[in-house]
Structure 1
Amino acid sequence: MSDKALAVRGVVFNWLGRGCAIIITFFLTPYLVSKLGDESYGLWSMVMAFTSYYAMADMGLRGAGVKYIAQFHAIQDYESVNKVYVTSMVVYSAVAAVVLVLVGIATYAFPFIVDIGDHSISNIRWVILLTGATMATRMLAQVYGAALTALQRHDVSNAIAVSMQLLQAASVVAALLLGYGLVGMAVATFAVTLSGQLLRACFSNVFLPELNFSLRYFDRDTLKMVFRFGGVNVMANAAARVLVYSGGLIVGVICGPAVVLFYSIPEAITQKTAQLGSAITQVIDPLASQLNAQKNKAAMLELMVLPPRLLAVSSLSLAIFFIVYGRLFIEYWMNEQYVAQMYPVLCVLTVARALKMSSGGVRAVLRSTANLRVIAIAAGVEIVVTLVIGVLGVWLYGPIGMAYAVLTTQLLVAVILLPVWTCTALEMPKMQYFLNIWPPSLLALLPPLAVALVIEHFWTPGRILDLAVICGLILISAGGSAFYICLPTHRRSDIITSLTAWRSVKSA
């Protein structure tokens, strides 16, 4: 199958995977809140956010694995593929051991940092220990996930992810029904994660049989290469985790665990919906590495323009839906009592996420061309601005202050600084870049905006299913306008050809 067909198929399967994750979150979150209560749910969110920072200890090796496995596989240099694979595995094993030590420290310290209310200190420590062990397990299998992504086997990767999400949701519900509480949820999460990582290991060896775990492939030059790339990924990952997880922690520490859900639930909604856009960026990274290895500069420059257009239209269309129908969505999904505090946070965060997604193609091109300094500086600015404004904002205004901190950061970094710095690094005209991205994207947003406003005028949805239909209509109109406005004629033909060829293969 051609690279174009694989890319198109990858986006489709990534959308399916992200869509299933959104549906699972949609049904599971209200159940967890009602079963646990506001304070316990907020505490669970804080523990998950707290332990998620262990993932920064991977030193960016997963991103390096995707880049270099895709790059060396494109030129059939399997010696180098195995060097990347084995070197990464050795490092991940050492990192997992370090994470377990950090877990031990966090297990002891967390109850003294956060007010855990009437919860048992012993139970909370078990929850932290198990979630930390879950993170260590994910690290040990990161290279297998990187291999599947590098090979653009997004179908298999998403099939595993969806299966594990369904199993985890069922296990969490069972744990709560049996009365095991937060500890039972943590045990279920660990067991399902372990199963998923074993499946990824098996399938990566099936699709890349050249993988050979022999210590003779451990290579110091390869170690330096992946660390050079991975070091920048650490900054980028740190910035991403600060944006995703620091908000709940800051709100919890300053305002208390019971207030966390007013930020963490809108954050979870925008994070899941933003993953629909990441279905495109996940395909761009290995594709950009392959094109760079093949010295295809024209296609690389196209990646600077087309994906940001599509990402901006898709993510801003979701922002339109939440701004127009967010109040009803929260009321029907959660409860009317949550609307007043959650809706403003949801509106601000959904726009912030959309702005960040619009820079996805730029980041992919920078990673593939090893322009790492730009990514590192942008990530550093994201971390500093988000934390400084976030702490001050939460202190003064509560959860909405954290949302405005994230929005301010993305306006500064994703919309202005990162594109300007990228154009400078790649010697591209800055004004030409902005004119290539935003006028077509904003024009393509007019149909979904019109659909949202017309429906609002003529139809008042009375249940959550009605809102799902409206959201679908908005996204369909956005997809159609993006297809005809944001893509040149030859790319529209490529997509149609790829989908037609794929359907023919499936029929045969």
Structure 2
Amino acid sequence: MKNGMKKAVIITYITIIIGNVISLMYTPFMLSKLGKAEYGLFSLVNSIVAYIYLLDLGFGNAVIRYNSKYMVEKNEDGRKKVNGMFLSLYLILGLISMIVGVIIYFNLGKIMSKSLSLDEINRTKQMFMVAIVNISLSFPLSIFNSIITAHEKFVYIKIINLLRTILNPAIMITVLLFGSRAFGMVVGSTVFNILLGLVNVIYCFKILKLKIKFAGFDKALFAEIFNYSFFVFLSAIAYQIYWNSDQLILAIFVGAAPIAIYAVSSQFNTYFLSLSNVLSSMFLPKLTKMVTVEENRNDLMRLLTKIGRIQYYICSYIFVGFVLVGKQFIVRWVGQGYSFCYVIAIILMFPQIFSIIQSLFATMLEAMNKHRVKAYIYLSIAIINILLSIVLVQKYQGLGCAIGTAIGMIINAVANNIYYKFVIKLDIKYFWMNILKLVIPTSITFGLGFLALSLFSLTSYISILMFGILFTIIYFIVFWIMGFNKYEKKIFISAVSKGRIKQ
């Protein structure tokens, strides 16, 4: 299993890199074929679908937990029954999602009538009709992915994710080349998702020898599962409100084209998160062990600070580099008409730095079973985000939504740090003093990078790449002299000499 985990981690890194590269290459092609308005409608449908998926209620994690529990206990009959209960539950959720989808379908015209034309509303409804089928079938199929995870078949899961990352855009490109537009993309994506779901079903029954027994609902067990899943569900609601509400607000108050601008800006924020958080899992086992055995809080704080500093190096490198050449890259990538994405992307990315450098604090809370308060905070801030965005969007359009989201993220970071300090009793001052020491070398790096821009005419990918190489050298030299401590220099030397980071 240890070797399998290593392979799964490697495949995950490959998937992230390939996924981001494909997305960067694929997006301009898609925008050129669809145009802003059509792409905005496509993004809008995806945003609505994301909300309906909340009907999962966090049960996916419960499937994993209870399958694992019964496997350890060697209770095969209990596992058959619980899987039968979960499959029945997901079939019901699939039916409910279809009913909810149909209700939304018949009310889309009323909801979007102020900002979308009749033709745009009809095209949105066509895409959403296919999406309803996708959602209703995805619920019962999703249980099989969770069962595979419970069996710790991580390599298989990561290979499937890699195939999804490569093949889904390939299908979209093929659809567009044959003359279909957003509707064809939704159909292609739906068929592909169903096929992958069926592959998981076959894998479960043929390879894992899965057996399911329909024996009705165990009310006591269901209550236990629901209590376990509720705060996962609450966090999922907050996440969807946070990252999918802005496009809905734009659709209601502004129109389709601004949604496309905002969607491209959000895409850079997604890249930022995926690349910045890639190291977190390497430190997760050690952190979880420390929390479980209740080691000294000072030792825990030192480890969290070490991890936070490393996360800071990664996200500050990406963020400063984007501030310097992001606008030129966007213009070269998707055209002058999307240049304003640069401003929105920066507004969304900057507050994320606070979340990224404290990303393992959330894992620590789960290990301590104190994550419910964080879920309440996240949900409250998400609601504040919606209210701010509704007020600001009417005057500033997409920029207003971005500002509302950014303010919400900053409030969220402050509230969480108050919780960490006064309830969890962590030395938050020690953490932030260590992080603030890195602001000076970051500022110097930005200044030198800004001066280096005069050496380049950033009108091609090659010139942007050449600047990126020079900026990387500048960043490394400045931080080696002024930023990295002995531990950080040691893990860098270890990574270079042995190809891995020793903890």
Q: Normalising TM by the smaller chain, what interval?
A: 0.7 to 0.9
Does the 8 Å contact 2:291/2:368 carry over to 1? no
- The structure-2 alpha-carbon separation of the partners of 1:318 and 1:501, relative to structure 1 and needing over 3 Å to count, comes to closer
Q: Which structure 2 residues correspond to residues 422-501 of structure 1 after superposition, within 5 A?
A: 422-435=420-433, 438-439=435-436, 442=439, 445=442, 449=446, 452-453=449-450, 455-468=452-465, 470-471=467-468, 485=485
Does the 8 Å contact 1:66/1:150 carry over to 2? yes
The normalised TM-score by structure 1 is 0.82
Query: Which residue of structure 2 aligns with residue 354 of structure 1?
Result: 353
Query: Which deviates the most, 442-451 or 253-262?
Result: 442-451
Q: Which amino acid aligns with 1:401?
A: G
Query: Which residue of structure 2 aligns with residue 343 of structure 1?
Result: 342
Deviation of residue 45 (structure 1)? 1.2
Query: Which residue of structure 2 aligns with residue 40 of structure 1?
Result: 38
Query: Which residue of structure 2 aligns with residue 247 of structure 1?
Result: 246
Query: Which deviates the most, 399-408 or 303-312?
Result: 303-312
Query: Which residue of structure 2 aligns with residue 506 of structure 1?
Result: none
Aligned residues: 493
d(CA) in 1 for partners of 2:225, 2:331: 47
**Equivalent of 1:104, from 91, 102, 105?**
102
Q: Show CA shifts across 1:294-350 (max 9, x none).
A: 6475797676444443333323322212211111011100112321x2221111112
d(CA) in 2 for partners of 1:131, 1:159: 25
Query: Which residue of structure 1 aligns with residue 415 of structure 2?
Result: 417
Q: Show CA shifts across 1:256-298 (max 9, x none).
A: 112222211101221233122344456777x489748964757
- For the residue of structure 1 that corresponds to 2:369, the secondary structure is coil
Instruction: Confirm whether residue 125 of structure 1 aligns to residue 125 of structure 2.
Output: yes
Q: Which amino acid aligns with 1:183?
A: F
- The structure-2 alpha-carbon separation of the partners of 1:496 and 1:64, relative to structure 1 and needing over 3 Å to count, comes to farther
d(CA) in 2 for partners of 1:424, 1:28: 47
Instruction: Confirm whether residue 231 of structure 1 aligns to residue 230 of structure 2.
Output: yes
d(CA) in 1 for partners of 2:192, 2:454: 45
Does the 8 Å contact 1:329/1:467 carry over to 2? yes
Query: Which residue of structure 1 aligns with residue 169 of structure 2?
Result: 169
Q: Show CA shifts across 1:338-394 (max 9, x none).
A: 21x222111111213333333321112222332132122221222122111111111
d(CA) in 2 for partners of 1:195, 1:282: 30
Identity between Structure 1 and Structure 2 (%): 14
Consecutive unaligned residues of structure 2, counting only runs of 5 or more, are: none
Q: Show CA shifts across 1:118-138 (max 9, x none).
A: 537655323102223323444
Query: Which residue of structure 2 aligns with residue 19 of structure 1?
Result: 17
d(CA) in 1 for partners of 2:440, 2:122: 56
Query: Which deviates the most, 25-34 or 59-68?
Result: 59-68
d(CA) in 2 for partners of 1:396, 1:84: 52
Query: Which residue of structure 2 aligns with residue 56 of structure 1?
Result: 54
- For the residue of structure 1 that corresponds to 2:48, the secondary structure is helix
- The structure-2 alpha-carbon separation of the partners of 1:498 and 1:391, relative to structure 1 and needing over 3 Å to count, comes to farther
Does the 8 Å contact 1:251/1:260 carry over to 2? yes
Q: Which amino acid aligns with 1:131?
A: A
Does the 8 Å contact 1:312/1:357 carry over to 2? yes
Does the 8 Å contact 2:41/2:120 carry over to 1? no
Does the 8 Å contact 1:390/1:402 carry over to 2? yes
Q: Show CA shifts across 1:28-83 (max 9, x none).
A: 2212221112211111111111121112111122344566767x59x944549948
d(CA) in 2 for partners of 1:398, 1:293: 45
Deviation of residue 204 (structure 1)? 6.7
Q: Which structure 2 residues correspond to residues 60-209 of structure 1 after superposition, within 5 A?
A: 60-65=58-63, 72=69, 76-77=72-73, 79=75, 82=79, 88-115=86-113, 116-117=116-117, 119=119, 123-146=123-146, 155-201=155-201, 209=208
Query: Which deviates the most, 238-247 or 59-68?
Result: 59-68
d(CA) in 2 for partners of 1:164, 1:303: 35
- For the residue of structure 2 that corresponds to 1:119, the secondary structure is helix
- For the residue of structure 1 that corresponds to 2:119, the secondary structure is coil
- The structure-2 alpha-carbon separation of the partners of 1:431 and 1:372, relative to structure 1 and needing over 3 Å to count, comes to same
d(CA) in 2 for partners of 1:449, 1:66: 45
The normalised TM-score by structure 2 is 0.82
- For the residue of structure 2 that corresponds to 1:48, the secondary structure is helix
Query: Which residue of structure 1 aligns with residue 334 of structure 2?
Result: 334
Does the 8 Å contact 2:292/2:368 carry over to 1? no
d(CA) in 2 for partners of 1:493, 1:148: 38
Consecutive unaligned residues of structure 1, counting only runs of 5 or more, are: 503-508
Deviation of residue 99 (structure 1)? 0.8
Does the 8 Å contact 1:232/1:375 carry over to 2? no
- For the residue of structure 2 that corresponds to 1:370, the secondary structure is coil
Q: Which structure 2 residues correspond to residues 309-328 of structure 1 after superposition, within 5 A?
A: 309-328=309-328
Q: Which structure 2 residues correspond to residues 246-395 of structure 1 after superposition, within 5 A?
A: 246-280=245-279, 287=285, 291=289, 295=293, 297=295, 304-339=304-339, 341-395=340-394
Does the 8 Å contact 1:288/1:300 carry over to 2? no
Q: Show CA shifts across 1:100-157 (max 9, x none).
A: 1111112221133224435376553231022233234443344444456667765543
- The structure-2 alpha-carbon separation of the partners of 1:466 and 1:141, relative to structure 1 and needing over 3 Å to count, comes to farther
Query: Which deviates the most, 235-244 or 312-321?
Result: 312-321
RMSD: 4.0
- The structure-2 alpha-carbon separation of the partners of 1:402 and 1:122, relative to structure 1 and needing over 3 Å to count, comes to closer
d(CA) in 2 for partners of 1:348, 1:220: 47
Query: Which deviates the most, 314-323 or 193-202?
Result: 193-202
- The structure-2 alpha-carbon separation of the partners of 1:265 and 1:253, relative to structure 1 and needing over 3 Å to count, comes to same
d(CA) in 1 for partners of 2:83, 2:155: 21
- The structure-2 alpha-carbon separation of the partners of 1:124 and 1:230, relative to structure 1 and needing over 3 Å to count, comes to same
- The structure-2 alpha-carbon separation of the partners of 1:114 and 1:501, relative to structure 1 and needing over 3 Å to count, comes to closer
- For the residue of structure 2 that corresponds to 1:426, the secondary structure is coil
Does the 8 Å contact 2:291/2:364 carry over to 1? no
Q: Which amino acid aligns with 1:375?
A: K
- For the residue of structure 1 that corresponds to 2:46, the secondary structure is helix
Q: Which amino acid aligns with 1:434?
A: W
Q: Which amino acid aligns with 1:458?
A: L
d(CA) in 1 for partners of 2:491, 2:148: 26
Does the 8 Å contact 1:330/1:338 carry over to 2? yes
- For the residue of structure 2 that corresponds to 1:180, the secondary structure is coil
